[in-house]
Structures are given as C-alpha cells and as structure tokens.
C-alpha cells in the first residue's frame, strides 16, 4: 500500500513545493524555516533536503517559478495588436484577477529582488521582454502624438497602472491596521477594484 513509486515522488515533491510557496511567500527567504515548510507539507524536515538539497535551492525553485508567473501576467497583454488604452485595461483586468489567487506574490517578488539585487537569476530576463516593453513605450508615444491619449510620459503611465494594481494587494495589511478594515470589507474593495482603476485611467487618458 505504501510502496513508493514514481507517483508518490511526484505527489510528495508537489506537496513540498506547495508548502514552500506558502511559507516563503509569507515569510521571505530569511524569515522562512525549513521546519515550518516540513510541517506545512506534512513531511519530515530531512525530506526537504532529499528532494531539494538545500534551503537555498528550494527557494530558487519557488522564486523562479513565481517570477515567471508574474511575467506571464504581463506578457499576455503586451503583444496583442490593440491600442494602449485597451492594453492597459486588459492588463488591469488580468492582473487583478490573477493576483486574487496569489495575493502574496507581488510583495514577495519585490522584496526578494530588493534584498538581493545581485543574485537575481539572469535566466529570468530573456532579451525579448525588454524589447516587448520598449515596443509598448513606442506605441504609447505614437498614440500621444496622434492625439489619441493625453500626453503622459509612457514610463510614468505604465508605472501608474502598475502601482494602482499592485498596491491593491500589497496594502491589505496596512488597510486592516490603519483603517480597521475587516476581511469582508476588503473583499468588497477587491470586487470594485478593477472597475475603479479602469475608469480612473480611462478618465485620465482622455485628451483635453
């Protein structure tokens, strides 16, 4: 019944990864404890080392996968052949709905890059990402010159949209503490959020 087979291996490894994600996302690399991850996964501490050799290796696995999840959200938008407004709105839509499943993801990534900018895995920055982004800037500039949108500098425009979207998730604990908001109220806030950001941006972009 307990005969180990390749299916067990997959299951255990997956359970560990899931547990590691939970703990690392919440606590960060420095704050996470292998013991916590093991408990969370319902396995022995030694097993983590059996599967991933070291805390650092396990962390790398989680981080890289998380970063790619994040990138995927971005990527999905940039390439499609529509106007800047549509791209921004699509981004807000996709980002807000994706991150509802992973509310800790944005803060986790920002944090770990911040603490360790040097050891950022180079494999994670394929050349074409930067190219795609620059394309987006060019497109924005063009639409400004054509009078389609109000003249905000493209980089700032993007940062505005990113800031409003990402802050939605990052700020939850702050809202709880400073505004005394509870879980239900935050849910309501989340439900309105996409529409509110989109209409805010839409209003800002109207050429005067």
Partner DNA sequence: GTCTATAACAGGATAGAC
Partner DNA sequence: GTCTATCCTGTTATAGAC
Chain residues binding a second copy by CB under 8 A are: 26-31, 107, 109-111, 113-115, 117, 120, 124-125, 129-130, 133, 150, 152-153, 155-157, 159-160, 162-168, 170-171, 173-174, 176-180, 189, 192-193, 196-197, 199-201, 203-206, 208
Does 181 bind DNA (CB under 7 A)? Our answer is no
Partner that binds at residue 49, options DNA, a second copy, none, CB closer than 5 to 8 Å by kind: DNA
Partner that binds at residue 166, options DNA, a second copy, none, CB closer than 5 to 8 Å by kind: a second copy
Helices and strands, counts by H and E, the chain: 10, 0
The correct pick among 19, 32, 84, 136 for binding DNA (CB under 7 A) is 32
Please identify, using beta-carbon distances, which residue of 23 and 205 lies nearer to DNA: 23
Q: How far is CA 108 from CA 23, 64, 103, 199, in A?
A: 11, 12, 9, 28
The correct pick among 18, 22, 49, 111 for binding DNA (CB under 7 A) is 49
* Nearest-angstrom CA–CA distance, 138 and 107: 29
Residue 102's CB is within 10 A of a number of other CB atoms, namely 16
Exposure b/e, 65-94, CB count within 10 A at least 16 = b:
ebbeebeebbeebeeeeeebbebbbbbbbb
Does 35 bind DNA (CB under 7 A)? Our answer is yes
* Nearest-angstrom CA–CA distance, 45 and 5: 21
Which positions lie near DNA, rule CB under 7 A?
Answer: 4, 8-9, 12, 32-35, 43-47, 49-50, 53-56
């Amino acid at each position: 019944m307990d005969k180990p087979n390749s299916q067990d291996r997959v299951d255990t490894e997956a359970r560990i990864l899931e547990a590691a994600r939970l703990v690392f996302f919440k606590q960060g690399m420095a704050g996470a404890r292998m013991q916590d991850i093991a408990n969370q996964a319902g396995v022995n501490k030694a097993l983590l080392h059996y599967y991933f050799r070291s805390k650092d290796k396990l962390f790398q696995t989680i981080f890289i996968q998380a970063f790619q999840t994040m990138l995927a959200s971005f990527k999905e938008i940039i390439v499609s052949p529509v106007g800047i407004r549509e791209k921004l709105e699509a981004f807000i839509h996709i980002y807000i709905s994706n991150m509802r499943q992973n509310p800790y993801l944005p803060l986790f990534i920002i944090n770990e890059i911040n603490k360790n900018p040097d050891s950022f895995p180079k494999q994670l920055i394929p050349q074409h990402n930067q190219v795609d982004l620059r394309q987006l800037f060019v497109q924005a500039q063009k639409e400004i010159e054509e009078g389609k949108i109000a003249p905000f500098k493209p980089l700032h425009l993007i940062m505005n949209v990113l800031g409003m979207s990402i802050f939605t998730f990052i700020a939850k604990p702050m809202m709880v503490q400073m505004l005394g908001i509870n879980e239900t109220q935050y849910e309501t806030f989340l439900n309105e959020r996409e529409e509110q950001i989109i209409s805010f941006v839409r209003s800002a972009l109207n050429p005067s």
